[in-house]
Chains A and B, each alone.
Chain A
Amino acid sequence: MTCAQMREQLSAWVDGELPHDLTAAVDSHLASCVSCRTHARSMRALKHVIAQLPSREAPPGAVRARVEGLRFRSGRTRVARAVAWLASAVAAAALVWAAVQMRDRVPPSSHELAEELVADHLRSVPEVMPAEVTSQNPDDVRRFFAERVPFRPVAPVLPGARLLGGRLCRINGTRSQLLFYETHGQTLSLFISPAPLDTEGCEAARGNHICGRMVGRLALMLVGNLPSETLQQLLADAAL
């Protein structure tokens, strides 16, 4: 075997992927060729240094939670799936009926959004589900969101409220920030999103209020069990 033919085989030889007869031929060539032996050693060294690179990366808590949650979704029986289908069909019909009833009273987009965000607030506050980043330092929180959201992340200072941390969320399919604050013994959720949203004024849903404000192209929506005037004031005084 010539050195040129050897070069074709060395890499597979290093990986132990050559058939027996070729392995023997490479072994025999290497015993007598210093140059090919050097190449073989450097290829093996390369394999070794690549193996030292990180091969695992912990995903954000929200991704882990969703993946873990799949096992329960996929585990439903046929009967359960049928019941779920029936339930969703009934729910869809109820939604259509409700939408028709409410069309002339409440702007559906803003009310639906308010309901959705209040529901997110209730199930995501750190008392219920651990935050993905826990820190009172706005720099730490911004750093967590860097590259996780499609905009430059912010961590506004709300006067009289303490930053607790945050987690990733989606609003209208757009990756957004969800920050948590504490004030007056209540936990507040601040949603920050570049999605085009109707943020005007305040809404009430499930015993909570939600108020909005645009800052540049970012929509800020503050949710909590406080009077809407208090939430509006906090938003108006928020320093980005």
Chain B
Amino acid sequence: MNRDEFAELAVSYLDELTAFALRLTSNAADADDLVQMAFERAFRAWSTLREPGACRTWLFRIARNAFLNERRARNARPELQLVEFDPLRDLPVVPAEAVERLDARALEEALSTLAAEQRETLLLSDLWGFTYDEIAEITGVPTGTVRSRIARARGRIIAHLGEASEGRRRRRRSP
């Protein structure tokens, strides 16, 4: 792959990288800066990319690392990690039809209940279609951790839906 081919390929992922950056930063202005920073780094280091097929994963990893470095540079306090229950242990039974009826807003609300690393891992899998190995490459954690984060993220969302539907049932019953 020569430089022009790399440029062509990398720029074709610009819209996906922008959506990923928006998810990371939750802010359009910071996402724009992050995308530019990521592409600047990618264009500086393009020759280290061996396989054109790995370009998309590589760009996501660069964007993620740039985001983390930037956050560290701002001396942001580490995100509060809550010790949470294991959602897989007492998974409520939620019919698939109820999940299918979820609109984008309710889904975003459910996603917002996840720990940041669970949400990120789940979205890399289900929204951008990366394999567990590719997500491990992007996030720098073992594949087993990816597997566990995705399982717990799904369990957490299903538990959230179960709680929400139970709440609605209780409100209907009360006079």
- What is A's interface to B at a CB cutoff of 8 Å? 4, 7-8, 10-12, 15, 17, 35, 38-39, 41-60, 62-64, 66-68, 70-71, 73-75, 147-150, 168, 175
A10 to B148, CA, bound (A): 11
**Of B94, B96, B123, which is within 8 A of A50 by CB?**
B123
Residues of B within 8 A of A62 (CB): 32
Q: How many residues of B contact A (CB 8 A)?
A: 53
A-B complex: 10 closest residue pairs judged by Cβ atoms: A71-B7, A11-B151, A56-B15, A41-B96, A45-B99, A50-B126, A45-B96, A57-B19, A74-B43, A59-B18
**Of B16, B31, B131, B157, which is within 8 A of A17 by CB?**
B131
Name B153's closest neighbour in chain A (CB-CB): A11
In the complex with contacts A7-B91, A42-B158, A56-B19, A15-B29 CB distance below 8 A = no
**Of A11, A39, A57, A68, which is within 8 A of B147 by CB?**
A11
**Of B15, B122, B125, B157, which is within 8 A of A57 by CB?**
B15
18 A-B pairs in the complex with CB atoms less than 8 angstroms apart: A7-B151, A8-B151, A11-B150, A15-B132, A38-B93, A42-B158, A46-B154, A50-B123, A50-B126, A51-B126, A51-B127, A57-B22, A68-B11, A70-B39, A71-B3, A74-B44, A75-B3, A148-B28
Q: State the majority secondary structure of interface residues on A.
A: helix
Name B90's closest neighbour in chain A (CB-CB): A7
In the complex with contacts A8-B151, A67-B39, A74-B3, A45-B127 CB distance below 8 A = no
- What is B's interface to A at a CB cutoff of 8 Å? 3-4, 7, 11, 14-16, 18-19, 22, 27-29, 31-32, 35-36, 39-40, 43-44, 46, 88-89, 91, 93-100, 102, 104, 107-108, 122-123, 125-129, 131-132, 147, 150-151, 154-155, 157-158
Docked-complex contact B11 and A67, CB < 8 angstroms:
yes
**Of B16, B96, B128, which is within 8 A of A44 by CB?**
B96
In the complex with contacts A15-B150, A50-B123, A54-B19, A67-B14 CB distance below 8 A = yes
In the complex with contacts A55-B127, A63-B36, A71-B4, A38-B95 CB distance below 8 A = yes
